[in-house]
Structure formats: C-alpha cells, structure tokens
A and B are shown apart, each in its own frame.
Chain A
Amino acid sequence: MSRQSVAKAHEKIQELAWAPLYHEPVSQYGTDYTFSKANKKDPLKQVLRSYFPMQEEKDNRVYGASDGAIRGNMFRQVEERWLEWQKLFLSIIPLPEISAARAMPLLFRTVPNAELHNGQAIQMIDEVRHSTIQQNLKRLYMQNYIDPAGFNSSLRNFQNDYCGTIGRQFAEGFITGDAITAASIYLTIVAETAFTNTLFVAMPAEAAANGDYLLPTVFHSVQSDESRHISNGYATLLMALADEGNHQLLERDLRYAWWNNHRVVDAAIGTFIEYGTKDRRKERESYAEMWRRWIYDDYYRSYLVPLEKYGLVIPHDLIEEAWNQIWNKGYVHEVAQFFCTGWLANYWRMDGMTDKDFEWFEYKYPGWYDKYGAWWENYNRLSMPNGHNPIVFEDVNYQYPQRCWTCMVPCLVREDMVMAEVDGHWRTYCHEACRWTDVEAFRPTFQGRETPNMGQLIGKREWETLYHGWNWADVISDMGFVRDDGKTMTAQPHLDLDPKKMWTLDHLRRCPPLQSPNVLLNEMSDDERQAFHAAYVRGGPAGRYAPASA
C-alpha cells in the first residue's frame, strides 16, 4: 500500500458504513439469536488495496508450482492409491467452499455490525477463490494423471453418489436454517476453526508423502485464507455470548455442529490419510495422532475451553466421545472398510491393503489385524473378477449396515445404533447424538423454547431406498459410473488398468438386486424390528454379524 499503514487505511474504510435513513435493506434470513449488547471490531483489518495483490501473489506461486509439476513430470511419481481417493475429495470440496461464499449474506442482517460485514464480504470472495482453484486442480489431475475416469465425471458423481451426499452436508449446513447456526457456528466456529486443520494441513502433508506436491500447494494457499475466516467467526461468537438468551442455542448448535463435523470429516479425511497413503513409516503420524494434535489440543483445549469463562457451554462429552470413536471404536477403520465394501457404488479405484499396510496399522492401532485383517485379505482375494461377485455379495462375515438418517454415514459402530419412529417412519442413527440432532435439535421448539428459525433435515436421506429392488448393473448405469466403452465400471477394487482385470456391467448383471436396509426395516413387524436391533448392536467390529448366542 502506498505510504498508508494498513491500520490507518482500515480505520478510514470504517467511514464507508452507513445506517439507512429511508428504507431498510431486505431481510431474508432469520435467526433465534439476539445481538443487543456487544459490538465487536472487524478482526480481519483487511483492505482490498493490499488484499488483491496479496492474493495475486499467492496465485502466482500456486500456478507456478502447477506449471512446474507438469514440466517436471510429477505424475511419474504420484501414488495411484492416493490420487484415486482425491476423486472423491475433489468432487466434494468445491461445493462447501462456494457454499461458504453463499453463506455470508445470511449474516448481514442478523449480525448487526457493519464493521464485521467488511470481513464477511472478503470471506465471500475468498471462498470463490477456493472453489475455483480446487476445480482447477481437479482439472489438472484429469488432464495429466493416468486414469481420468471419476475426475472427468466428478460433479455428476458427487451429486448422485452416497459418499458425495454425505459430504454435501458440509456445504448445505452452511446456507440454510437459522442464519447463525448455519453461517457462524456450523461454518466458521466448527468447520473452519476445527476441521480445516485436518482437511487443509494434515491431508496435504500426506499428499506430499505420496508424490503429489500440487495438493499441498493449493490447499496451503487456501488455508492461509481460512485463518482470517476463523477470526470472523470468533468475533460473531463473542457478540452472541454477550446475550444470555443465546447460551442455550449456542450449546445446542455446538453439539450439533461438532458431532456432525466429526462424523462427516473424520470419516472422509481419516480414510484418505490412513487408507489412501503408501507412506508406512512408523514415525509418520496416524490420523488419530493428527486429530489429537490439531483438533483435541489446538481447537478444543486452546480455542474452545478458554471460552467457558464467557459462558459458553462446551460439549466436553461429545468431544471425548469423538476421540473414543476414533481411538477405541475404530471409526475411521470401519468407514474405510465400508467404502471398500461398497466400491461398486462409487467412482474411484480403491486399492487393497498389503502386508506392509497391515504392519503399520498394527503398530499404530494395536489389535487392528484381529479386527480387520481377515476382511482385507478377503478384499484382495476378491478384487479381480474371477467367477465370483463383488465382496459385498460374498460370505465374508460382513453385515451390510443401516444408514444414519442424520449424518448419512452408515451405522458402522454397531453397538451405538439407535432407532426412532418419526412421522410414522422408522429411522436409524449411528449414535445417540445423531438421533438427538434429528429428533430434538432440528425442531421448531427446543427444550420448551420456540425456535421458529431452526432449519429442517430434508431430502431422500437413505441412498439405497432410491434403488430398492434394482439390478446393480442398472444402478451403476443410472448413476453414470461407467467408462467410455459403455461397460467397464469407473470404480474398481484394485489399481490394475488391464481391461481384462476390470469389472464391467456384465459382472454386476448377475448379482442379487439392491436391497434398501431402511425399506426392509420398515417392512418388519415391531417384534422383528426390535429383534433386529438387538442383534445389530451385538454385531461388529469390522461389520461382523452378532454371535449366534447372546
């Protein structure tokens, strides 16, 4: 900037704000929060005269690295195991980014602080940056990586695939419902402040270890913006805390947002980092170790806990439970196993685990082999078509799971599955916290208090229902997960690109029809359903059926 300090310039641009004299701006989004007391300063202190050149310089570095990666033949050393999982990640992430841009207007009328609106507008355009720079990275992968299938159909896949749909919560949760719940608590206080650490810092490190230095280049550039967004959220949170009447809502929203982020982000990023890597050095951090450092220590202990003195009720129990799920209940391992069980319903190739992987898992997660080892050996055995069906149809002692109505990740930690009848329909939940979210939190009254602005969980939340009774070949055709020869599937349970070793629609045609667990559950009598539930919660780990005797 020319001779003017950023602070002085920022002070000057505060003169731009004005309150209406003649007509009120339109008010299109509601909140049950109130902001009658504190007025916080814009923590970003960002002035566009310095912001644009700063972002341009960051872009120059990113695009210079992209050019270098192509000239330097980066793809000759990229691990296919790793880049295949990026087909899922990069199909999901541009939508949450752009949704964060769309979320900012929710705060304009609901957070009465013109100074903060400046920071929110900058966050808006940052998010446009993130969405398009990530699309561009995916485009580059599609053009230069050996197997473009899945990248080339990315946004269609993302929209109709159950994994993409799980990830879509991480976008839609930002833009609907109570404006503060969505755009402040869910987006900035939890998703950005807690979970972008694993998304944009931990995962890029793993990418680099797998020969891909473009993903770190792009995502570290993105993360350097996130730190500013975190400040936006913090200022709004402090304003909300100043009104006592908000404390009950803050408690509700932190519980919901924390648990949903844990269920969705840990499922996806945990799987990418643990099962998408070829780096099995014992010294490298496991996802659990990263989580403990980035989320438990940096977010929970350093960011959230100090807010208790301002009256914030922190969901200590759910934070400990999230750790319990990751460390003791194998949440990430259960999710990765499910992804691979259902490989045929997705759009990337999923590499099996080898002895080297087994050794690493056993070292990092003692007892892993006894739980999961046999199943992964079966996965390898059944990976090439050889007269058998895909693993989901074979006898490998894996009970296809019910799906959680709230977070839409299947109910994989079997002992935690709960059911509820809502509007005459039986729903299953992966955990009591998800039942609470649907049955108690997302309702127009909460603990006797009117919450007319709270959003609703809507949509066809169990993917299998749409295809109940269909032949699997027709399911895959309907979703479009087929390569350009019209029969070879986009997804494969191995990395061999020899067409003779790849699964086709012909292989699927002979499989049993798809059965929706939720449709079947609702067809049961009450007694059958209770018996089913009792057996289900005795199942696991690793998807095993309950032992024959109680």
Chain B
Amino acid sequence: MTSTIERNLPHPHFTDAEAGAKEFPDAHARTFNYFVPAKRRPTHYEDVTVEVQPDPRHYLSQGWLYGFSDGRGGYPLEWTALKAWGSDRPVPERYPGSGGRGYDWPALGWHEFRDPNEEWELTLYRYNSNVVRQINANIDTARESKAFEQWNRNWVHFVERHVGAWMHVEQGLGLYLFANANRRAPTNMHNNAISVNSMHRIRFAQDLALYNLSLTDEIEAFDGTAHIATWNSDPAWQGVRMVAEQLTGIDDWCEAIFAANVVFEPLIGELFRSHLVQQAAPGNGDFVTPTVVGAGEYDYASRDLRYTRAMFELLVRDREFSDHNKTLLNQWTATWTGRCLAAARTLQPLWSQPDWKPPRFEDGLDLCKNRFSALLADLELTTPKELKQ
C-alpha cells in the first residue's frame, strides 16, 4: 500500500500583483526614467547597461565612499588625457544642508557613448558560442576529410610557428591592455564594451592554441611548441612583440584602446591575418586555418573596431573639447604609426616562406595603409607623415 508522507511546503496564493490590475500614480510608468535614451525609445542594451556605474556628477549624492591611498575614488576622469564636454566642471560640492542634486543627466559627454554592438551578457555569450561551435565544426570536418594531409611541409612549419606566434599577441593585449582597461573608463558603456573586446582577444588566443593542439595530434611533423620559440626569439617577430609590450605599458586608457584598435590592428593585425595568412593558406592546400583566423578577424573588423569608432567619433566631435582631443589623438597616431610600421616591416620575411606565395608584402601593406588612412579620415584625424616610411 502506498503511504503518503506529509510534506511541509509554502503555499503561494492568488495576489493579483500583475501589471494593470489597478490604477494609481506610476501604474503605467514602465520604463527606466533616470537616463535619456540615445534614440526615441530605450534599447534593451541601454536598460541593462546605462548608469549601473554611478557618477557623483549626477545622482551619487554622498560621493565615492572608498578611495585609493591618495584619496581618489571611483573612476577619475584624469585616467585619460582626452576630455568629453563637461569634464572641467567640478563635482558638485556637498556639505551640511547642500542637498544631493547633481547636474542634469548626462552631466558629461562621456555618458553619451553607446556601444553600437549593444553587447550585454545575452549577446556576448550567443556570439562567442556560435564562433567556437563553428570553429570546432570546421576543424572536425577537416579532420574527418583528411584535409591536413594536403598541407605541404613548408606550410605546416609556417602554421606551427607564425600562426602560432599570433596567439601571444592576442593573449597579451586581451589581458594586459583590454581587460586592464575595463577598470579605467568613466562609464559602464565604455567598460562593458572594453570587457567584451578583451574576451574576443582571449578567446581568439585560445582558439589558436587549441587549433595548434589539434594540429599536433593530426599532423605528425607538426611541432606544437614551435610557436613559443618563434615568439621568444625569431627576429621576424621581435618588432611585433616589442610594440605589443609597449602597448601594454600605456597608462592612459583611451590611448591604449586607440593605439591598439585604430593603429596596431590595421597596420599589423590585418596585415598579418588578412594579407598573409588568409591569402597564402588556400594556395598551400589549407582551407581550415582561414576559418579560425577569420573568426578573429571578424571580431576586430566588424565588432571591436565598430565600438572603437563610435567611442572616438564622439570625442573628436565633442562640442567642447574637439580640438583638444584631435590634437592628442594626432600625437598618438604619429607615435604609434611609427612604431607599428617599423614592427610591420620586421614581419616581411614571412611572406617568402610558404611554397605558394601570397600577394607581395608591399601590396598588402599599401592596402593596410589605405584602410588606416580612411579610418583616420573618418575620425577627422590627420594622416601622419610617419605613414610614408
């Protein structure tokens, strides 16, 4: 006979606490009212992002509560030399009887930035999951169709060394430039976009490392550790390594993002990925590497550069500090163009290594320079004389 054990459970009951059940003040006020959306209606992205990171210039009436040893708390605007309108206005002074009001929202031009990719957790996990699933599928298909057997010996060495070396660039910048910068910007919109950029980089680094591991299993002559020696001591890579390390040494978070995404990537990243690896692989019997590298290329060209443009467009067109910002950005452009071009040229020997040659290095570099110049023009910046090197 079945016995029933008496269970002690909560007893939810009908409360009729759903929207529309009664009429009262605010009954229909069902949008966040503490910020002004960029367009007529707030986007889902704005709702989950805007104003999460507070600012004593608007609602943070008691100010920051914890400071560093120098007494500065929160997200000091001085962590970049660039300025958005309102930056020079002091934080409203609060004292006995002052009240708590700050400036009207947004108080500062910084708060006008919106990530055009509208990244939040739902989008970033969907996007990156799709990428890793597709990469896995491509590698599995290649393995099953014995595609790696078509690779010639030189190409095997090229991939193990040089495609492998690129993973270190992604890892280093992903962690020590982009993840580091997510502590530095004055709004949640900036810092979340930078965090997502960081994860693209680190994921791409791991994509390359795990692809390297697959190739080690599949190709007998493939040396899975050769990328380390290449990165550490191959003269062709030391220029890139030097500039990558210099990038991680930048203190100013805007300069770091600008130098990496506006200068380094067009002149070195795209040069290596799009004008060498992607061009050389098919002729050398490799249809797999371009799909792995292409995912990283898409991260940058279609997503990370997109938010970077939006971020700096606001600053060069700022109603108060346009000239100030352009002057600094032009200085940064000149400094980093010289460094990146010198590093790009150290890569030139790689173009002659595959059996089936990609288009000439100079042709690839010219295309990169043209794209870079167009990007600078879009940002109303001057093409530096260093580009003629």
Contact with B along A1-37 (1 / 0, CB 8 A): 1111000110011011110111111101110000000
Contact with A along B108-141 (1 / 0, CB 8 A): 0000000000001110111011011101100110
With A28-B251, A148-B26, A466-B99: A59-B121 Cβ-Cβ less than 8 Å? yes
Q: Is the CB–CB distance between A124 and B66 below 8 Å?
A: no
A470 at the interface (CB under 8 A from B): yes
Q: A275 CA to B149 CA in the complex, in Å?
A: 69
Chain A residue numbers with a CB within 8 Å of B1 are none
The contact of A466 among B61, B188, B207, B245, by CB within 8 Å, is B61
Q: Is the CB–CB distance between A208 and B10 below 8 Å?
A: yes
Contact with B along A195-219 (1 / 0, CB 8 A): 0000000000000111100000000
A73 at the interface (CB under 8 A from B): yes
Q: Is the CB–CB distance between A108 and B179 below 8 Å?
A: yes
Chain A residue numbers with a CB within 8 Å of B34 are 153-156
> Closest residue of chain A to B16, judged by CB?
A76
B5 at the interface (CB under 8 A from A): no
Q: Is the CB–CB distance between A146 and B22 below 8 Å?
A: yes
> Closest residue of chain B to A206, judged by CB?
B10
> Closest residue of chain B to A144, judged by CB?
B19
B313 at the interface (CB under 8 A from A): no
> Closest residue of chain A to B212, judged by CB?
A12
Q: A102 CA to B250 CA in the complex, in Å?
A: 18
A289 at the interface (CB under 8 A from B): no
Q: Is the CB–CB distance between A75 and B25 below 8 Å?
A: no
Q: A8 CA to B224 CA in the complex, in Å?
A: 13
Q: Is the CB–CB distance between B73 and A53 below 8 Å?
A: no
With A154-B34, A209-B10: A124-B195 Cβ-Cβ less than 8 Å? yes
Chain A residue numbers with a CB within 8 Å of B179 are 104-105, 108, 120-121, 124
> Closest residue of chain A to B128, judged by CB?
A52
Q: Is the CB–CB distance between A2 and B140 below 8 Å?
A: yes
A319 at the interface (CB under 8 A from B): no
Contact with B along A118-160 (1 / 0, CB 8 A): 1011001100111111011001001111111100111110111
With A26-B249, A160-B100, A456-B66: A21-B241 Cβ-Cβ less than 8 Å? yes
Q: How far is the CB of B233 from chain A (nearest CB, A)?
A: 9
The contact of A455 among B30, B60, B68, B202, by CB within 8 Å, is B68
Chain B residue numbers with a CB within 8 Å of A95 are 52-54
**What is the size category of the interface that chain B forms with chain A?**
35 or more
Q: Is the CB–CB distance between A25 and B100 below 8 Å?
A: no
With A49-B207, A149-B29, A465-B96: A98-B69 Cβ-Cβ less than 8 Å? no
Chain A residue numbers with a CB within 8 Å of B202 are 48, 118, 121
Q: A346 CA to B299 CA in the complex, in Å?
A: 44
A357 at the interface (CB under 8 A from B): no
Q: Is the CB–CB distance between A165 and B10 below 8 Å?
A: no
Q: A211 CA to B16 CA in the complex, in Å?
A: 11
Q: A183 CA to B62 CA in the complex, in Å?
A: 23
Contact with A along B190-206 (1 / 0, CB 8 A): 01100110110011011
Give chain A's interface residues, CB within 8 Å of chain B. 1-4, 8-9, 12-13, 15-18, 20-26, 28-30, 47-49, 52-53, 55-56, 59, 63, 73, 75-80, 83, 94-95, 98, 101-106, 108, 117-118, 120-121, 124-125, 128-133, 135-136, 139, 142-149, 152-156, 158-160, 162, 165, 168-169, 172-173, 175-178, 182, 208-211, 279, 281, 283-284, 408, 444, 452-461, 463, 465-470, 474, 478-479, 483-485, 488, 490, 497-499, 502, 516, 519
Give chain B's interface residues, CB within 8 Å of chain A. 8, 10, 12-22, 24-27, 29-34, 44, 47-54, 58-69, 71, 73-74, 94-101, 120-122, 124-126, 128-129, 131-133, 135-136, 139-140, 167-168, 171-172, 174-176, 179-184, 188, 191-192, 195-196, 198-199, 202-203, 205-207, 209-210, 212-214, 224-225, 227-228, 231-232, 241-242, 245-246, 248-251
19 A-B residue pairings within 8 Å (CB atoms)? A12-B209, A21-B245, A49-B207, A80-B17, A118-B202, A121-B179, A125-B124, A128-B121, A129-B125, A132-B49, A136-B44, A143-B30, A153-B33, A155-B34, A458-B73, A459-B63, A466-B62, A467-B99, A502-B25
